Structure 1
Amino acid sequence: MSALDDDAYRAFRRDLHRHPEPAWCEFYTTARIVTELRERDLTELYVGPDALATDDRMNVPDDEALAEWEQRARDAGADPEIVDRLSGGYTGCVAVAERGPGPVIGLRVDIDALPVTESADADHVPAAEGFRSEREGYMHACGHDAHATMGLGTLDAVLDSDFSGTLKLFFQPGEEQVAGGKPMAESGHLDDVDYLYAVHVGLDHPSGEVVCGVDGFLAVRHFLAEFTGEPAHAGARPERGRNAVQAMAAAVQNLYAIPRHADGPTRVNAGLVGGGTATNVIPEESLVEGELRGATTELADYMSDHADRILESAAEMHDCEVDVSTKGEAPSATSDDALAGVVGEVAGETDGVTEIVDRADLGGSEDATYLMRSVQKRGGLACYVGVGTDHPGGHHTSTFDVVEGDIAVGIDVLSGAIRRVAETRP
């Protein structure tokens, strides 16, 4: 690949699109990225466990699932030496290119996919052109294949310029589970970063539109509550049972009753519930898997504190026990004006950009916020950029796709912003 080879970037993106992988299972994806990175003139390349604070990983699949995805990557032709380094689900990588004196600038892109079955309709471009997902039940339904491609292209464009400073590329796993941002943020690789950009394609902004600074990140916590009671015959001896489903039901009802807060929006959702084994058995086990959000980290903490109390109280009310674990989380964050301003300047000079939006709210959650706040708390600046694309289906749907020409727009805007930040040091 080179900074000018659009066909190579398209082929790379389509390869990733055919091989989507969920959080901590991005064996093929990471191996393909590392294979490409090894062709670049890098100073350092940190792979797998060397790119992460490994003790901070959350929501890691069990060994059987990891082994299955690892074998799929090998069968698909991923470099076995690289896959070996990722064993155990230590996916992702960090590339470092030192190019003389200057600031350290980071770019974060995410690489994981979603458990969504991709459309096979003839009018769905990946199906029509032969790069539909080969992992049935999983697809790149949020554009992370395009993000990874933008990361490579931005690296190429910066290396092909008179950039002076250090560029760090963070290829982050596990965003969809809000599980990968914290381990990468705590890895130590951000400790010397002065400026950080992150990027997302689409977000309901059309092709030609660039959002200079995205805000409105809802802080979030994903939780799993597992209730345990005592089984009994539901007809003959119901009094001997301790009903875990009753405890779960009480918890769900009261989670939705958490008072809203005057300081801003809050959210709660019990997205997955279950329990019991038969109609004539008092349920011994049940579960609630859900999420809590707030417009700020403090509001999310407010929701989380109330939820924990409700879950414990529901278990006690029905003489059950409950184990509550956090499966993923991310704080809120704000894009810094100075970096957003640079994006606006560069976007105004970039072919293919037809409209510049200074600010827009995400309205959801993103664990790039961990990396952003890590840089900001050390006195640096961070900004989340939106690159519009005419996606035919909404994010996280079976017909989601990107206009591949918009990947080049993202590369040009990001690489131009990075070069200008290095020159002007806002």
Structure 2
Amino acid sequence: DSKRGAALMLAAQGIRKHLLRWRRALHQCPETAFAERKTARFVLRELQRLAIPCEYGGVGGGIIARLRGSQSSTPAVALRAELDALPITEQTGLAFASRHPGRMHACAHDGHMAMVLGAAMLLQQNPPAGDVVLIFQPAEEGGCGARVMIEAGALDGVAMIFGGHLTCHYATGQVMAACGPVCAQADGFHIRVSGRGGHGARPHEASDALVASAALVGGLQTLVSRETNPLDPSVVTVGTLHAGSAANAIAHDAQLSGTIRSTRPETRQRLIAGLERMCRAFGEAYQTQIELTFSPTYPPVVNTPRETVLARQAAMSVVGSAGVLTQELPSMGAEDFSFYLERVPGCFVRFGGRGPNTPNLPLHNPQFDFDEEALVVGASYFDAVARLALREAGA
């Protein structure tokens, strides 16, 4: 209701200075996957100031904190944030820009940590009946860090989990919460093309790995354009191709890597089978050997019905019904929040971070930034959803 929403926002405004301090301090010390030493130390220090018991797995691990409720009943509800940054050179010009050359919080994880810390402060000021587990995980960016936390016991006794992501696709004050798949499954692949090198003036004596690779890249584009239902979101991207060492030599070897994104199991299997078939066919057509291997996958993020209802109710209490959106199509981005959702029900939302009259800069861009007023929305949302979920769970 509007009164509850106003009270939530008023409480969050009261911690605004802390939200800004946390976000800006974290933004200055970005660290990449499994090397989040200073970042974890900062989060631990702030949790200790809030007198919230926590466990740290050391560098390469994450932090599990447990905010005790007034009755400390079980089951608990979990909130999740990410510690890691990206190997990107920042170009924002911010006064609090990265102090670590070649590393940047270009995916808003600094904001997510500040939001969850803010929710912890709000929850600590007025403890709910049940426990709230705060998960600060390493290596979301390609490292499957969620698995590390699950193995460390982060979900022990947890009934539901909630997470979120800032994005400038939505304006500040908007929250997207939708049931079902909201992020795609991601399958990484690596291809090695082995040919026979030779002189550039005598191509008939060689088998050109570079030409075979170029033809394969072109052929792979038809897997989506001609072999999948156009109403079913899917992507095949070849992101790297390395071949050759001299302008007058025919390449004997080529290395390619890429990703498959899908939201339905049958489509994923069709794309994988097509990739395997094309590698065999192009290898024979160009007299080369083509080896295909797949890397560990991120499952799709699939929000569960009850928890999505709770997330939308919490968001409405913060930003009003007009500010709560439903996603029309899943994002083709991947998120390792999916590993948590394979174990317990939950909901992953998106927080609008585009301020007035500001461009929609994409995530992973060296100029990416977000409107810091979104931190107040996020902290309020996490506080509200934790309380609602605990009441639903009977705490």
Q: Distance in 2 between matches of 1:373 and 1:222?
A: 21
Map of 1:67 onto structure 2? none
Contact 2:279 2:291 in 1 (8 A): no
Map of 1:357 onto structure 2? 324
Q: Distance in 2 between matches of 1:325 and 1:32?
A: 39
Q: Distance in 2 between matches of 1:240 and 1:92?
A: 55
The superposition leaves residues 158-202 of structure 1 with CA deviations (integer Å, 9 ceiling, x where unpaired) of 233232333222223333336434444455432542101011112
Q: Distance in 2 between matches of 1:133 and 1:293?
A: 31
Please report how far the alpha carbon of residue 111 of structure 1 lies from its aligned counterpart in structure 2 after TM superposition: 2.9
1:222 corresponds, among 188, 194, 201, to 188
The superposition leaves residues 187-235 of structure 1 with CA deviations (integer Å, 9 ceiling, x where unpaired) of 5432542101011112511111122336432222122223333333333
1:11 is the counterpart of 2:38: no
1:31 is the counterpart of 2:54: no
Point out where structure 2 has 5 or more consecutive residues left out of the alignment.
1-10
Please report how far the alpha carbon of residue 331 of structure 1 lies from its aligned counterpart in structure 2 after TM superposition: 1.8
2:80 corresponds, among 108, 119, 126, to 108
Name the SS for the 2:354 alignment partner: coil
Map of 1:141 onto structure 2? 106
Name the SS for the 2:65 alignment partner: strand
Q: Distance in 2 between matches of 1:403 and 1:384?
A: 20
Map of 2:242 onto structure 1? 274
Contact 2:146 2:340 in 1 (8 A): no
The TM-score, its normalising length taken from structure 2, stands at 0.83
Map of 2:155 onto structure 1? 190
Deviates more, 1:19-28 or 1:291-300: 19-28
Task: Tell me which amino acid in the other structure corresponds to 2:193.
Answer: F
Q: 1:125-136, aligned counterparts within 5 Å?
A: 126=94, 130-136=95-101
The superposition leaves residues 240-281 of structure 1 with CA deviations (integer Å, 9 ceiling, x where unpaired) of 534321332232122112243237222111122121101222
Q: Distance in 2 between matches of 1:192 and 1:312?
A: 48
2:347 corresponds, among 358, 369, 383, to 383
Distance 1:406 1:286, change over 3 A: same
1:338 is the counterpart of 2:306: yes
Q: Distance in 1 between matches of 2:352 and 2:346?
A: 20
Q: 1:146-185, aligned counterparts within 5 Å?
A: 146-177=111-142, 179-185=144-150
1:96 corresponds, among 60, 66, 73, to 66
Deviates more, 1:292-301 or 1:282-291: 292-301
Q: Distance in 2 between matches of 1:358 and 1:142?
A: 21
1:243 is the counterpart of 2:253: no
The superposition leaves residues 22-45 of structure 1 with CA deviations (integer Å, 9 ceiling, x where unpaired) of 333333323322333344434441
Map of 1:260 onto structure 2? 227
1:20 corresponds, among 20, 30, 49, to 30
Q: Distance in 1 between matches of 2:177 and 2:296?
A: 27
Q: Considering only aligned residues, what root-mean-square deviation do their CA atoms show, in Å?
A: 2.9
Task: Tell me which amino acid in the other structure corresponds to 1:221.
Answer: D
Map of 2:279 onto structure 1? 311
Distance 1:221 1:303, change over 3 A: same
Name the SS for the 1:109 alignment partner: strand
Distance 1:34 1:316, change over 3 A: farther
The superposition leaves residues 381-414 of structure 1 with CA deviations (integer Å, 9 ceiling, x where unpaired) of 2101222222534223233212222212211111
Contact 2:47 2:53 in 1 (8 A): no
The TM-score, its normalising length taken from structure 1, stands at 0.77
Map of 2:200 onto structure 1? 234
Distance 1:386 1:286, change over 3 A: same
Contact 1:209 1:354 in 2 (8 A): no
Task: Tell me which amino acid in the other structure corresponds to 1:341.
Answer: V
Q: Distance in 2 between matches of 1:394 and 1:35?
A: 32
The superposition leaves residues 90-136 of structure 1 with CA deviations (integer Å, 9 ceiling, x where unpaired) of 24333233431132211122233334433355xxxx2xxx1122234
Map of 2:3 onto structure 1? none
Distance 1:297 1:29, change over 3 A: farther
Name the SS for the 1:205 alignment partner: strand
Map of 1:373 onto structure 2? 341
Distance 1:322 1:20, change over 3 A: farther
Please report how far the alpha carbon of residue 239 of structure 1 lies from its aligned counterpart in structure 2 after TM superposition: 4.6
Map of 1:425 onto structure 2? 393
Q: Distance in 2 between matches of 1:321 and 1:181?
A: 36
Name the SS for the 1:138 alignment partner: coil
Distance 1:371 1:170, change over 3 A: farther
